[in-house]
Amino acid sequence: MADTRKSSGSAVSLALLLGWILPGAGHLLTRHWIRALLLFLAITSLWWLGIAMNGHLYMPGGGDPLSILGFVGDLGSGLFYLVGYAGGLGRGVVQVATADYGTKFLVVASLLNVIAAVDAHNLRIGRKPDGRSL
């Protein structure tokens, strides 16, 4: 199987960038197809469940430190955040008990996406052993 590891050059961070933009996409670059699919399903499900539970998507310019922290956290979902921002998702007034859970689902999904993107990067540069069967 072709060695997909890179140690230098502009493409070395491509897995990190792709993984941030779309959950699991970084693992496609490293040819870990099943990991990519599972990560995509898990993170995407968590994020969209957060939206469906009327969670709040933090916007830029929140003002208070917690809102800024929430915004930085939500940015970790990459393309999903852009879709939510453009589509006006996650901006409704929180009126149901599980909406707070939805907000947490959104932030955690975004942070998990960052973890997954970093994992793809580590596989790409050889810092993490392949351990391939997935």
Return residues touching another protein (CB under 8 A).
35, 38-39, 41-43, 45-46, 49, 52-54, 96-98, 101, 104-105, 108-109, 112, 115-116, 118-119, 128-131, 133-134
Work out how close the CB of 46 gets to another protein at its nearest, in angstroms, rounded to a whole number.
4
* Pick from 126, 132, 125, 116: nearest CA to 19: 116
Q: What are the tokens at 13?
A: 């961070």
Give the residue with the Cβ less far from another protein, 81 or 120.
120
Work out how close the CB of 54 gets to another protein at its nearest, in angstroms, rounded to a whole number.
6
The region that residue 60 occupies, defined by phi over 0 for left and psi between -120 and 50 for alpha, beta otherwise, is beta
Give the residue with the Cβ less far from another protein, 58 or 106.
106
Q: How many residues does the chain have?
A: 134
Report the alpha-carbon distance of residue 125 to residue 39 in Å, rounded: 19
Work out how close the CB of 94 gets to another protein at its nearest, in angstroms, rounded to a whole number.
12
